[in-house]
Structures are given as structure tokens and as C-alpha cells.
Structure 1
Amino acid sequence: MESEPTAELIRAQLRRLRLHAELSQEEFGKLVHFSGSQISAIELGQRPFDRLFLKRADEVLTTGGLLTSLLRLAERYSQPNWFRPWLEAERQAQQLWCYHPTLVPGLLQTENYARAVIRADDMLSDDEVERRLAVRLDRQSVLSRSQPPKLIAVVEEAVLRRADESFRGLMVQQIAHLLECVDQPNVSVHVIPAEVSTHVGLAGPFTLALGNDSGWVGHLENQLNGTTIDKDGELTILISRWESVRSEALPHNQSALLMKEVMTSWS
């Protein structure tokens, strides 16, 4: 999805980089598997570009990922107003505490799992699914930055076991990814076992972020949008609920063993 005026900036940078590389539109088109007329149409704004095209262009023009980075910025700032404060809190977080009663948290989803979750909304076009997927995967880069936040995620055992025959391969991949994540010193995943039938977290998903100097910020999700929480009284309640949810979950090693047991039961 293109966003103006960022799309104009991307097209201008594409043309500048192509000319700097002393490539005609026809020559550059052959390298990225496009015709010269298609390249001309993209540079003039008469034809849309997508992530795959920009990735090829970055590789051919040795930009260091400039064009795809500009696209990520466009996607980030095309997010709805209600979501932007939380994205900023997430990017600046030193700590992230996340609980979801029905899904693997977005920051820990594999590409295939995330695509399946987003695609479950049959009102979304394929292009919109891929756009939302790209934004979700881009958000995960916060965990691999030079000074990443400490992420503690709590998931339900039922979430890990929710898979029919056609979905099991995807879930095996997802659980394997969770196990890889917890090998990182800044990521912990704790599982609430199925025998814990009720607890306060089942009322809905929430995430808490602790910034450098801004204190705690919370985020609540619902079917239509989300809410960023920054009032002291509401944050006190969310932190208390987090502590309650976290106390129901298994310790690190037992959680990892349970995840491995789920994978083994399907193989």
C-alpha cells in the first residue's frame, strides 16, 4: 500500500538511485524483471509498487534497504490515530509484558501464523492482508535492536493446542519459533496450563510497556480498534491483573517442556 507523500519520496529516490547507477529504465527493468515501460510508469506514479519490487530494487541498486525502509515508514504512519501512541510506546519500551487469551502475541508470531490470523477476517483483500502482515512483522524488529526490551509473554496452553489436521504444521512451526525466542536473553514465554480453568486475564488481551522516562503505558485490544491506557488508576489495575495472570503461569523451564510436549504429540 502506497501512502502520499511518502510514495512520491520513494519514487523520487528510486529514480535518483537508478540514475546514479547509470542505468536506463530498460536496463534497470531487466535486472528487476520488469519492462522499461513498467519502470517508467512506476517512477511517474502511474503504476503502484509493492514490497517485492522495492526489495529487488534495493538489491540491484545496493541501497542498504533504503527503499523498503521508506515503505515501512509509510505503512507505520498510515496506521489509524488510535494505534499510533501505542506503536510509539512499543518502540521505546524497556520492558513489555503481554498476555493474550486466544492467540500467540503478535510480537512472537511467525509470518505464516500471522498471515493466517489476519486472513481470518474475510472482509480484507489480499493486498490489505499483506499490508497488515508487513506492519506486524516490522513491529517485531523491536526485539532485535541493539538494546531490545525485556519481553515477558503469557500464553494459554489451549492456544498452543488449537489446531486441526490442516493447521498442525503451521502450529509446529509457531511453537518451534517460540522455543527459539526464549533462547534469547530478553524474551520469556510462560504458559498457563489447561487445568487453570478461570483467571482474571480471560476478560481480554492486554500489554504493558515501560519506557525510558515515561513510566508505564497499557494497550487493550477489541474487535474494532484498541485503546492506549496512560491514567495512573487504570494502569494500577492492569499491573495488578498482570501479576495475577503471571502467577497462574508455569515457570520458564516447565513452560518450555510443555511447548515441546505439544509439538511431540503432533509428530
Structure 2
Amino acid sequence: MEAEPTSELIRTQLRRLRVNAELSQEEFGKLVHYSGSQVSAVELGQRPLDRLFLKRADEVLNTGGLLTSLLKMAERDRQPSWFRPWLEAERTARQLRCYHPTLIPGLLQTENYARAVIRADDMLSDGEVEKRLAVRMDRQSILDQSQPPKLVAVIEEPVLRRADEGFRGLMTQQIAHLVDCVERSHISVHVIPTEISSHVGLAGPFTLARGDDGGWVGYLEHQLGGTSVDKGEDVAILLARWESVRSEALPRRQSVELMKEVMSSWS
């Protein structure tokens, strides 16, 4: 369900900007590739807000991205209450440490990989899949800031190799993206090789965020969503487990060589 206050603000701003530009709904619709009646439906709240429509509206009205930024706010407002504290911790983090035993971490997923992961939940409609995908892709923008957080991710080698013939093209794209990410000084990806058969991280994925104040917050994923962790003793346990998991992984250069080896083995 849309966050009504923010959604209504977007519609109000859209109408104001269009009128100030001296464009009728028909004229504006032609510029954004919508009909006049569709523009009217958006402005009246009879049609859901659409990311592509607002992106075109920002370009036509020269808003500097105002409308799409407001939509991102609305999407954050729609996130479950248990997820919002973590989104804020992630957004303001100076350091991020992430371990996942079965998937590529969300901040490093390609759009196609992320869509496939989200779509695996057959209870989601196509529209809900795309909404969740948009939020996940938006979260990655923290890595493109002028002062991005230092991200260190640890993944398992079987995650890289888990791809049948129909999935290998998508997985090749994903691994190539990881290799490209590692070329950025603030991103490190380390792989735990298959021969490490048991370690404490296999109990489940977790992420740690360190804020400007030096404090850490943790996040645990599970089948019903996730849990933010801020109690001192619980965070201390996660930090200790992170050190254990990180010690099992290959160094940065060897991890990249392994990722490239996986891709070459398929070709």
C-alpha cells in the first residue's frame, strides 16, 4: 500500500510543476509518452505512481530528480517496520561488513540476479517483485556517494558455482560485476573456498554497519524477514563471528582469481 502523505505530495508537486511549465495534461502527456487521460489519472491518484513516468517527468520539467527522489522516500516508508532501522543504519554507515552463505549480498547484486532472487518467492506478484527490486537497486546508491562506506563482503564458493546451464549467463554477468566492484578501493569481496567444509558463519547471513559515532549495528536475515541488533553483547558476538568468518576467506586477489576461474570454467 502506498505511503499516502508522501504519495500525495508527489502528485501535488507534479501538478504544480506541470502548471508552472504552462503545459496542459495532453501536452505534458505527449512529452512523457502518456495520454492526457493517463496523466490526469496519475495526478488524481487513480493510477499508481510509476517510476519510469516520474523519471520522464523530472527530465521534461527539469526538476533535478525531485519526483523520483520523493518516490524513493515513499518506497522507504512502505518498508516493514522491522526493516526501517536497518535501512537507516545502512544509509549512514561508514563501514559495512556482510556475510551470506547462500547468496550474493544485496548491495552487490546485479539487477537480473536480484530479480531472480526476489522472484523465487512465488507468493509475490510481478508488480511486488519490481517494487522490491527497485528498493534493492536504490540501496546500492550508497556505494556511489562521494564518501561511500567501506564495504567488505564474504561469500561462499558454492554460491558462485550454483548455476545450471540456463542460469549461467546471468551468473556470469553477476560474477563479472563482483570483479568490477573489487576494482573500487572501498569494496572488497572475499571467497571462502569449498574445502572449508564447516565454520560458524554457516548458521546464517548477517551484516554489520558502523556509524559516524563508531558504534555498530547488526542485521540478521531469516525466512520471515530480518532483525536489527543493537544490544552491546549481541553486537559483540556478531563482531567476533565476523572475524572468524573473515579469517576463513581467501585474500582479495586470490578471491578475484577464483571468481575469474569460475567464469572461465563455463566457457
Q: CA deviation at 1:2?
A: 3.4
Q: 1:62 and 1:240 mapped to 2: Cα distance? A: 49
C-alpha spacing 1:189/1:149, structure 2 compared with 1 (3 Å): same
Q: 2:260 and 2:129 mapped to 1: Cα distance? A: 30
Residue identity over aligned pairs, in percent, reads: 78
Q: 1:30 and 1:251 mapped to 2: Cα distance? A: 54
Q: 2:48 and 2:235 mapped to 1: Cα distance? A: 43
Match of 1:28 in 2: 28
- Runs of 4+ aligned structure 1 residues displaced above 3 Å come to none
Give the secondary structure class of the aligned counterpart of 1:74: helix
Match of 1:107 in 2: 107
Match of 1:7 in 2: 7
Q: CA deviation at 1:234?
A: 1.0
The answer to whether the Cα contact below 8 Å between 2:149 and 2:186 also exists between their aligned partners in 1 is yes
How many residue pairs match? The answer is 267
Pairing 1:231–2:231 present: yes
The answer to whether the Cα contact below 8 Å between 2:2 and 2:78 also exists between their aligned partners in 1 is no
Q: CA deviation at 1:266?
A: 1.1
Give the secondary structure class of the aligned counterpart of 1:22: coil
Q: Deviations over 1:118-143 (max 9, x none)?
A: 00000000110011001111111111
Match of 2:210 in 1: 210
Q: What amino acid is aligned across from residue 73 of structure 1 in structure 2?
A: M
Q: 1:37 and 1:88 mapped to 2: Cα distance? A: 38
Give the secondary structure class of the aligned counterpart of 1:151: strand
Q: CA deviation at 1:18?
A: 0.8
Q: CA deviation at 1:105?
A: 0.2
How is 1:180-199 mapped onto 2 (pairs within 5 angstroms)? 180-199=180-199
Give the secondary structure class of the aligned counterpart of 1:98: strand
Q: What amino acid is aligned across from residue 150 of structure 1 in structure 2?
A: K
TM-score normalised over the length of structure 1:
0.98
Q: Deviations over 1:162-186 (max 9, x none)?
A: 1011110000100011011111110
Q: CA deviation at 1:214?
A: 5.3
Q: 2:60 and 2:263 mapped to 1: Cα distance? A: 41
Q: 2:41 and 2:231 mapped to 1: Cα distance? A: 50
Q: CA deviation at 1:49?
A: 2.4
Q: CA deviation at 1:3?
A: 2.2
Give the secondary structure class of the aligned counterpart of 1:165: coil
Pairing 1:70–2:70 present: yes
Q: What amino acid is aligned across from residue 213 of structure 1 in structure 2?
A: D
Q: CA deviation at 1:55?
A: 1.1
Q: What amino acid is aligned across from residue 119 of structure 2 in structure 1?
A: R
| Ranges in structure 2 where 5+ consecutive residues have no aligned partner | none
TM-score normalised over the length of structure 2:
0.98
Which region of structure 1 is more displaced relative to structure 2, 222-231 or 57-66? 57-66
Give the secondary structure class of the aligned counterpart of 1:49: coil
Q: 1:24 and 1:113 mapped to 2: Cα distance? A: 41
Pairing 1:131–2:131 present: yes
Match of 1:154 in 2: 154
Give the secondary structure class of the aligned counterpart of 1:196: coil
Q: 1:246 and 1:4 mapped to 2: Cα distance? A: 43
How is 1:234-253 mapped onto 2 (pairs within 5 angstroms)? 234-253=234-253
Q: Deviations over 1:212-241 (max 9, x none)?
A: 115011000100021111111111111111
